[in-house]
């Protein structure tokens, strides 16, 4: 019986080999009377070393061990080993393969579930077997705090998670914006710490207090959190970051999500299946039949989308979710979706990271959402993952607050749901866990080049002034419109339904309007105005034809886009004034001879400048950028 090669091949666990060799030495032949005792000892050894994640590996070994032992003992039949039931050595308690205990910290992992693969392959979907033998370190739960009214609900779930030993530590990062909330955080820290001594931490309290005294409103720099995680995380730790307006957490599914996160070293961040999250809503569309068609548009670049444009849709999602859970908490199962891998930005309302990735977080700051969910994963060529059977609910974005918080008792009802959920002695939620799988890269890399599918479409146009023969161009570093006879920028031009000759011109998520043809094109305040007022982005263009120059008219202001003799863009009411150059030609990249076949693959190389990725087509040297805070072109790295 070649136990040595068998163990080396599958486990690399020298301590177990040593123990078995000692038994073999003491029992040169395994007699019938000692058979059961010997098998039982091996089971216990594997139970202690493999624990929760390795039932399939254990089954492989035990089956092979039985076969070889049968041959050694003149084909004596051993009792069939059932993969689902193991007996403890002393007390005879049944250890169901869905229920294992952590050896050191006693955490209950009752929700650990695995599905057999249809093709019968054993763990071929695991990227690295060694990860399975590593032990999860500290599970740390961080909240960006905090608004008192929201935290009163969120803390009910946090308390349950600590009480059930699902998380080891709770860290409150003080990013409060008024002194009342600031003082509330201190009181909550004291309350929690009295109950869970040495497991509760309050950060950034004194620093934030100094800022609050100045009464200066500025964009929040989230770096204190990321720097702390960078300096205080071990590779086996689990990092959970939660917004303070997460008003529902399926804590019993969080346990499974943590295990799934630890196994998955391929994805960069895991995001909960979150109500009122723009990207999640796209994948939840089948859960909301009445608004399915409205949700069936992926947010451009992973930001904004229909929930930002129409807060009433977000309100409808909340009302549906609340009504179902108040009727029966088991209705939570209606919102389970399959795991989804994404390669775009996502609003990071509730994310889970591996401690081994903390090394990338030191410089993350004001634009943390872009850096965490877009820039770093793109740099590492790693996708993000939405955990479909782990459900949370996010209250509101800034653009939604005036609508959501005034239309019904949303917060009050979430408080009722929390009480219902928390008061269970045992979870009644039946979680349909997704099978663990590894994401495939969505492109092919050859040396330093990426071979990608041509992402151009028939809505992309260059805009050229007829008289000057110069193109409208945006330098992504200057962030301003200019005219150039060398450089040119592709704009997305989309017809507005039910309005004659009415279009919108966009670059990324930003609209071309009378207010940003001069100065910064990427104007966030203007963007939100355009979302609330459709007329700001409406442009009248005669039927677009590459052979017929036409006027560009901003409908609301009744102004025409023109170029003056200094090659600057302006607007005027007099489109026929001879001192202006007011007609424009639209060149469709999709239909040009250079790109007759839009489905062909192209080679691009990339470089980084000022925290942005640029992709250069090596055939014609054209340079594009992926999304940067709402900039650029979508799907540059697509599946090849």
82, 106, 131: which is the final residue of a domain? Answer: 131
Compute the distance between CA of residue 363 and CA of residue 371 in angstroms, rounded to an integer: 9
Phi-psi region of 506 (alpha: psi -120 to 50; beta: other; left: phi over 0): beta
**Quick check: 154 pLDDT over 80?**
yes
Whether 279 and 332 map to the same domain: the answer is: yes
Whether 221 and 81 map to the same domain: the answer is: no
580, 595, 610: which is the final residue of a domain? Answer: 595
Q: Considering only 119-128, 320-329, 471-480, 486-495, which range has the smallest mean pLDDT? A: 119-128
Whether 482 and 521 map to the same domain: the answer is: yes
**Quick check: 25 pLDDT over 50?**
no
Which pLDDT score is estimated for 244? Answer: 96
Q: What is the 3-state secondary structure (H, E, C) of 391-455?
A: EEEECCCHHHHHHHHHHCCHHHHHHHHHHHHHCCCCCCCCCCCCCCCCCCCCCEEECCEEEEECC
Whether 432 and 308 map to the same domain: the answer is: yes
Which pLDDT score is estimated for 399? Answer: 86
In a domain, 196, yes or no: yes
Compute the distance between CA of residue 490 and CA of residue 323 in angstroms, rounded to an integer: 45
Q: Considering only 79-88, 262-271, 308-317, 389-398, which range has the smallest mean pLDDT? A: 79-88
Q: How far apart are the two ends of the chain, measured CA to CA in Å?
A: 47
> Global pTM?
0.75
Q: Considering only 109-123, 139-153, 383-397, 455-469, which range has the smallest mean pLDDT? A: 109-123
pLDDT in tens, 299-334: 988 888 999 989 999 999 999 999 999 999 999 999
Which pLDDT score is estimated for 449? Answer: 87
Domain CATH for 313: 3.90.550
**Quick check: 14 pLDDT over 50?**
no
DSSP helix/strand/coil, 462:
strand
Which pLDDT score is estimated for 155? Answer: 98
- Residue of 245 and 46 predicted with greater confidence: 245
Whether 202 and 151 map to the same domain: the answer is: yes
pLDDT in tens, 566-598: 878 999 888 777 667 889 999 987 655 554 545
Which pLDDT score is estimated for 552? Answer: 94
In a domain, 514, yes or no: yes
Which pLDDT score is estimated for 418? Answer: 96
For residue 348, give the nearest of 229, 226, 224, 241 by alpha carbon: 241
pLDDT, averaged across the chain: 79
Domain that holds residue 425: 136-440
Which pLDDT score is estimated for 121? Answer: 34
- Residue of 640 and 71 predicted with greater confidence: 71
- Residue of 286 and 27 predicted with greater confidence: 286
Whether 63 and 171 map to the same domain: the answer is: no
Compute the distance between CA of residue 463 and CA of residue 480 in angstroms, rounded to an integer: 15
Most confident of 404-413, 587-596, 625-634: 404-413
When divided into structural domains, the chain yields a total of: 3
Structure-token pair, residue 493: 């031009």
Q: Considering only 313-327, 339-353, 589-603, 625-639, which range has the smallest mean pLDDT? A: 589-603
- Residue of 433 and 513 predicted with greater confidence: 513
pLDDT band at 104 (very low <50, low <70, confident <90, very high): very low
Which pLDDT score is estimated for 617? Answer: 87
Cβ-count burial of 479 within 10 angstroms (0-12 exposed, 13-18 middle, 19+ buried)?
middle
Which pLDDT score is estimated for 217? Answer: 75
389, 406, 440: which is the final residue of a domain? Answer: 440
- Specify which residues 553 forms β-bridges with: 540, 560
Please give the share of the chain, as a percent, with pLDDT higher than 70: 72
Compute the distance between CA of residue 199 and CA of residue 381 in angstroms, rounded to an integer: 35
Structure-token pair, residue 591: 């239909």
Structure-token pair, residue 247: 């008003």
Whether 531 and 498 map to the same domain: the answer is: yes
Whether 283 and 409 map to the same domain: the answer is: yes
- Residue of 260 and 112 predicted with greater confidence: 260
Compute the distance between CA of residue 66 and CA of residue 79 in angstroms, rounded to an integer: 9
pLDDT band at 478 (very low <50, low <70, confident <90, very high): confident
Please give the share of the chain, as a percent, with pLDDT higher than 90: 50
Whether 127 and 141 map to the same domain: the answer is: no
In a domain, 603, yes or no: no
- Residue of 487 and 241 predicted with greater confidence: 241
Whether 174 and 102 map to the same domain: the answer is: no
Taking residue 216's Cβ as centre, other Cβ atoms within 10 Å add up to 7
DSSP of 314-328: HHHHHHHHHHHHHH-
β-pairing verdict for 246-249 and 384-394: antiparallel
Which pLDDT score is estimated for 421? Answer: 94
Whether 255 and 324 map to the same domain: the answer is: yes
Which pLDDT score is estimated for 585? Answer: 93
What are the two backbone dihedrals, phi and then psi, of residue 24, each rounded to the nearest 5 degrees?
Answer: -65, -35
Mean pLDDT, to the nearest integer, of 477-487? 90
Whether 164 and 67 map to the same domain: the answer is: no
Which pLDDT score is estimated for 218? Answer: 80
DSSP helix/strand/coil, 483:
strand
In a domain, 43, yes or no: yes
For residue 555, give the nearest of 579, 567, 575, 538 by alpha carbon: 538
**Quick check: 524 pLDDT over 80?**
yes
pLDDT in tens, 601-615: 788 899 998 888 888
In a domain, 627, yes or no: no
Domain CATH for 494: 2.80.10.50
Bond into 146 cis (ω within 30): yes
In a domain, 492, yes or no: yes
């Amino acid at each position: 019986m070649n136990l040595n090669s068998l163990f080396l091949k599958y486990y690399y666990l020298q301590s177990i080999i040593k123990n078995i060799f000692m038994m073999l030495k003491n029992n040169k032949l395994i007699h019938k009377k000692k058979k059961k005792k010997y098998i039982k000892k091996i089971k216990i050894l594997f139970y202690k070393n493999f624990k929760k994640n390795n039932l399939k590996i254990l089954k492989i070994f035990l089956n092979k061990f039985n076969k070889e032992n049968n041959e050694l003992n003149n084909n004596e039949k051993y009792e069939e080993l059932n993969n689902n039931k193991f007996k403890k050595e002393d007390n005879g308690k049944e250890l169901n393969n869905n229920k294992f205990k952590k050896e050191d910290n006693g955490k209950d992992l009752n929700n650990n579930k695995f599905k057999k693969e249809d093709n019968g392959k054993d763990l071929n979907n695991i990227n690295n077997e060694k990860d399975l033998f590593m032990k999860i370190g500290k599970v740390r739960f961080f909240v960006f705090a905090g608004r008192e009214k929201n935290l009163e609900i969120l803390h009910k779930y946090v308390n349950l998670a600590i009480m059930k030993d699902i998380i080891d530590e709770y860290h409150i990062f003080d990013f409060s914006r008024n002194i009342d909330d600031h003082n509330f955080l201190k009181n909550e820290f004291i309350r929690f710490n009295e109950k869970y001594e040495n497991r509760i931490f309050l950060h950034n309290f004194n620093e934030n207090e100094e800022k609050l005294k100045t009464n200066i409103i500025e964009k929040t720099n989230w770096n204190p959190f990321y720097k702390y995680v960078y300096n205080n995380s071990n590779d086996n730790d689990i990092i959970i970051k939660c917004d303070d307006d997460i008003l529902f957490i399926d804590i019993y599914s969080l346990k499974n999500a943590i295990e799934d996160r630890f196994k998955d070293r391929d994805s960069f961040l895991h995001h909960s299946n979150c109500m009122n999250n723009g990207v999640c809503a796209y994948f939840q569309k089948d859960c909301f039949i009445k608004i399915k068609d409205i949700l069936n548009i992926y947010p451009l670049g992973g930001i904004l989308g229909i929930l930002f444009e129409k807060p009433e849709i977000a309100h409808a999602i909340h009302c549906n979710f609340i009504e179902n859970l108040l009727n029966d908490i088991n209705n939570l199962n209606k919102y389970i979706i399959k795991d989804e891998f994404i390669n775009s930005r996502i609003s990071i309302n509730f994310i889970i990271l591996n401690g081994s990735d903390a090394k990338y977080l030191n410089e993350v700051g004001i634009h943390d959402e872009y850096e965490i969910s877009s820039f770093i994963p793109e740099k590492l060529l790693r996708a993000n993952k939405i955990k479909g059977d782990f459900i949370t609910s996010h209250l509101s974005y800034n653009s939604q607050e005036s609508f959501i918080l005034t239309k019904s008792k949303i917060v009050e009802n979430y408080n009722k749901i929390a009480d219902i959920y928390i008061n269970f002695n045992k979870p009644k939620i039946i979680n349909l866990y997704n099978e663990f799988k590894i994401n495939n890269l969505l492109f092919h890399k050859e040396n330093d080049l990426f071979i990608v599918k041509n992402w151009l479409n028939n809505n992309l146009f260059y805009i050229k002034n007829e008289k000057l023969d110069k193109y409208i161009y945006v330098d992504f570093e200057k962030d301003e419109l200019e005219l150039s006879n060398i450089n040119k920028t592709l704009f997305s031009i989309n017809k507005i339904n039910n309005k004659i000759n009415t279009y919108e011109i966009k670059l990324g998520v930003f609209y071309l309007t009378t207010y940003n043809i001069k100065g910064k094109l990427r104007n966030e305040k203007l963007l939100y105005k355009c979302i609330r007022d459709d007329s700001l982005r409406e442009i009248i263009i005669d039927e677009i034809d590459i052979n017929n120059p036409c006027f560009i008219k901003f409908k609301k202001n009744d102004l025409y886009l023109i170029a003056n003799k200094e090659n600057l863009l302006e607007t005027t009411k007099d489109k026929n004034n001879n001192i202006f150059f007011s007609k424009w030609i639209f060149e469709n990249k999709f239909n040009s001879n250079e790109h007759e076949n839009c489905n062909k693959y192209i080679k691009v190389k990339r470089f980084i400048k000022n925290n942005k990725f640029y992709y250069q087509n090596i055939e014609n040297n054209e340079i594009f950028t992926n999304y940067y805070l709402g900039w650029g072109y979508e799907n540059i790295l697509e599946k090849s």
